[in-house]
Structure 1
């Protein structure tokens, strides 16, 4: 008669022979029901049992207690190909001291918590938890899924420190696909070139800001991709100059910065009246504000790259007085800025991704090296996607 514990353990082609307690844990002795196995070399069935060596592996808890399985590791002899073969079990990798479902459970908990918490709760060492996490993560495909539009950015490992992680996201799926422990151009290029050429050739656009060495990286790694300077970074530059003009004009009413920098189309009727009063303080500020809105309108209404570039060049000619430094920067990156008008690609989704990355890094204590932290970052976005 089958033990009721067999249903509790719920493993394929297995029955429970006995169970017993060892300190604060429960151990189940298992029996494999199949009397033969298919040789992995020739496919022939063999029943010739050569030897049995029991091993002990950890499984999911039972009744709130740690559970261990005593499993017979059976070795057969195949007369057809004259080789000794070890039986394979779908729920276990003989090289690992845990069942696959136990490791999957640990992996998911590390994604939601951190190594230290899981280590305490399970009575495992940090090294054991890290090892499980890395083992499960190795099953995840390391090559990217083909993506046409990417975003590249930098995230500081620690606030106030010049120690950056380069992050790459799939803008269409809205998820992180790579994290690199460097912001040096050469190292980023070397790392990214490990991706198959066929995957890299699929990329059509990469959205970046105007700073750093990303354009050179894109040219080297993604030869078919257009560099798109992110619209919101450009508007941030223009808005920054407008705010300097506000301060120089001595305009300091409460809320004046917010009203000046907010899109005019998004203002309420009351806010528009408040803004009109603010702009009366300074003719220079009023002109600079109108120029900011004119620049934003170029982004909103231009339909083609040619139209967008023509309108921006005209704006740059008239911007020298109020936006001289900003205009020079825009001119330097005009091609990438105007590439926005091809498909209106932005890296706006990167803000949410970067915030999640920062949260994961803050909670990621217990990871002793960047490879494991990278695995956690990619795992989190994989599980949420």
Structure 2
């Protein structure tokens, strides 16, 4: 039963298991090539005479948390027709000079992306340099594959967003393909300056840049100008969640302004209930709505502002661009009529990014998937106990999101 399980678990292409045994919590598995004949590279005859055979040890992925060592038979053949000797039978699961299978290297890399190199060393009983080398081999291979594909062939849609390399320090940029079924990370850039973005996108072929139809981003001029310059056919879409956040921030200013006019008890209660005002109206329970009414009875200004906040959010559930634009114009008029001064900066922001914001209704694309990935990137940073360079962080992120 155990041998059958090992055969299924190992499943090495072109090799069969001769025998296996366990010693000191390590499973040793002897494997040999199935096919022991090759075409002679000199005369094209079939070479099937044994020239020499030797064994060497190769580390493979664990089975039931037990280390696995493959005892691999390396066979070289001799041609009976022309006498050519030393014709090697290739080992498909192993690169030249490697003593770890390709899948074990991948296993190491994915474990490193979840934690630190030192932890993986302890877990697999390997040296630091062994783990680091395996991780670098796998992650660099992934990076090269992504670079070659995207930069040459392009992509119809991608999102761009920044994240802090260190709290309070410089920012890195994540480029994401939310529609990808495999690796969603396109690239990680070490800073978000306009010059750096243009330099990076210049590496993409002209055809690749022409292929891009949509780019989602936040309201930062560096993104807007560099994307506009490098992708002539792309529609820029400002992420709706960044826009909605603006109205939330403005309403917070309303609440603070109203609070200054209340007595101490009402002020304290308004502060304690502040989380209710952050919730969308559709998520407020009947009991919570009664609490809101208590606050509205003390300030009609607060009530009107709350209604306008919800009306602004409702714009982004409309189906067509024209409907949304008309709804926004009506909303602006209500803000002016009711003299909600805190919302004027929201009007200015939307007008400054009018086309890019309402482009959302052409495709209904957002940076939601990117925000989710950015949250995972924060976990990767914490698990790795910080990083000395963006390049190291990039390797971990690429490996973590690889399928």
TM-score by length of 2: 0.77
Check the 8 A contact 2:50/2:75 in 1, yes or no: no
Query: Unaligned 5+ residue runs, structure 1?
Result: none
Structure-1 separation of matches of 2:234 and 2:374: 23
Check the 8 A contact 1:170/1:177 in 2, yes or no: yes
Query: Unaligned 5+ residue runs, structure 2?
Result: none
What's the secondary structure of 2:316's corresponding residue? Answer: helix
Structure-2 separation of matches of 1:268 and 1:151: 35
Check the 8 A contact 2:51/2:85 in 1, yes or no: no
1:261 equivalent in alignment to 2:303: no
State the shift of 1:31 in Å. Answer: 5.5
Distance change in 2, residues 1:69/1:306 (3 Å): same
Residue 391 of structure 2: aligned partner: 371
Residue 333 of structure 1: aligned partner: 353
Residue 105 of structure 1: aligned partner: 107
Report the RMSD for the aligned CA atoms in angstroms: 3.9
State the shift of 1:190 in Å. Answer: 2.5
Check the 8 A contact 1:16/1:31 in 2, yes or no: yes
Residue 130 of structure 2: aligned partner: 128
Residue 317 of structure 2: aligned partner: 300
Distance change in 2, residues 1:280/1:39 (3 Å): farther
Alignment of 1:33-112 (within 5 A): 34-38=35-39, 45-47=46-48, 56-60=57-61, 64=66, 67=69, 69=71, 71-72=73-74, 74=76, 86-112=88-114
Check the 8 A contact 1:259/1:275 in 2, yes or no: yes
Alignment of 1:1-385 (within 5 A): 11=12, 12-13=14-15, 32=33, 34-38=35-39, 45-47=46-48, 56-60=57-61, 64=66, 67=69, 69=71, 71-72=73-74, 74=76, 86-140=88-142, 141-142=145-146, 143-144=149-150, 147-158=155-166, 160-173=167-180, 175-250=184-259, 252=267, 253-254=269-270, 255-301=272-318, 303-316=319-332, 319=335, 321=339, 322=341, 323-365=343-385, 369-383=389-403
Range that drifts further, 204-213 or 327-336: 204-213
Render the CA deviation track for 1:267-312: whole Å, top value 9, x for unaligned.
22332232222122223323322322232232223x3323323432
What's the secondary structure of 1:94's corresponding residue? Answer: coil
Render the CA deviation track for 1:333-375: whole Å, top value 9, x for unaligned.
1111111121222222333221111101211249765434323
What's the secondary structure of 2:288's corresponding residue? Answer: helix
Check the 8 A contact 1:115/1:367 in 2, yes or no: no
Structure-1 separation of matches of 2:20 and 2:327: 81
What's the secondary structure of 2:185's corresponding residue? Answer: strand
Distance change in 2, residues 1:146/1:39 (3 Å): farther
TM-score by length of 1: 0.80
State the shift of 1:91 in Å. Answer: 2.1
Structure-2 separation of matches of 1:28 and 1:173: 38
Structure-1 separation of matches of 2:350 and 2:105: 51
Structure-1 separation of matches of 2:390 and 2:45: 45
State the shift of 1:106 in Å. Answer: 1.9
Distance change in 2, residues 1:261/1:56 (3 Å): closer
Structure-1 separation of matches of 2:30 and 2:316: 69
Structure-1 separation of matches of 2:219 and 2:60: 51
What's the secondary structure of 2:97's corresponding residue? Answer: coil
Distance change in 2, residues 1:42/1:282 (3 Å): farther
Range that drifts further, 284-293 or 313-322: 313-322
What's the secondary structure of 2:317's corresponding residue? Answer: helix
Range that drifts further, 33-42 or 226-235: 33-42
